[in-house]
Amino acid sequence: MFKLLIAEDVKTVRETLVHAIPWQKLGITLLGAVENGEEVLAWLDREEADLVLTDIGMPKMNGLELIEVLRVRKPEIRCIILSGLSEFEHARQAIKLQVLEYILKPIDPNEIEKVLSHAVIELQREREERRSLALVEQATKAKLPNLSEVLPTGGWQENLKKKKLVEQVIQYVKEEFTRRELSLADVAASVGLSDKYLNLLFKEMTGQTINQSIIRLRMEEAARLLQDPLIKIYEICDQIGYVDQDHFRESFKKQFGLTPTEYRNRFL
């Protein structure tokens, strides 16, 4: 269940929203309904929320001001605007603030229900992505040894410098591994070292080459994407930076012992 808070200063509209929407059916727990942005912030100091459905024209703190504050204080909360102010400037500002939806009054419970259904799907997708990324990161950490435990013999200052360099490389590779043209030269340039020296250093510290690390990250991401049957295999191939599907298939089978199709079938 996702938690939602309403901000609407007009009592009749507020009560309609509370009573006319099948919240539980939508997978939403309605925390409450308040009159302005200040009350929303006070509520969120006591209880967390996933969604805020807010009017724009409210006293004390309007909807746009509220969303601006939430983006700084609680960026994980997604916002939906409900307003009779249909001027383009408000819509443009809403887009700039990255709101999930913009609904115009007079309110239509059926339309709001559709918008909220879409919002729940979006939140579920984001939640699954965060879980998958966390699993990939855990798997990556498990496969990369603790650098502090595998430091080679030598001066501690030299070893600490090597450790920091390799950690920078690992972070860069994690951020860029889906880029098709990513090369060893790009990685080396990111830390100001030569290709050859960096590859030797990376293998010394982690037990694998940079290319092996890139391939492993790509295959972990492919495995995550393959769990979604709506994503075509050729699309996954493209998303993780592969041009040739045969090459992708071979790399994936080498990593997991199954072809991408065989792996996907395990989740169907």
What 3 state SS string does 56-107 have? Answer: CCCCCCCHHHHHHHHHHHCCCCEEEEEECCCCHHHHHHHHHCCCCEEEECCC
Cis peptide before 106 (omega within 30 of 0): yes
Number of H helices, E strands in the chain: 12, 5
CATH number of the domain that residue 230 is part of:
1.10.10.60
Give how far the C-alpha of residue 5 lies from the chain's centroid of Cα atoms, to the nearest Å: 22
161 versus 225: the higher-pLDDT residue is 225
Give the model's confidence band at 151: pLDDT under 50 very low, under 70 low, under 90 confident, else very high. very low
85 and 178 belong to one structural domain: no
Mean pLDDT is lowest, of 49-53, 89-93, 199-203, for 89-93
Residues 6+ apart with CB under 8 A from 8: 14, 17, 33, 35, 53, 54, 55, 58, 82
Give the model's confidence band at 161: pLDDT under 50 very low, under 70 low, under 90 confident, else very high. confident
Domain that holds residue 15: 2-126
164 and 235 belong to one structural domain: yes
Residue 183 lies in a domain: yes
Residue 134 lies in a domain: no
Read off the tokens for 18. 């509370």
Residue 258 lies in a domain: yes
Domains contained in the chain, number: 2
Give the model's confidence band at 26: pLDDT under 50 very low, under 70 low, under 90 confident, else very high. very high
196 and 156 belong to one structural domain: yes
Q: Distance between CA atoms of 54 and 8, rounded to whole angstroms? A: 6
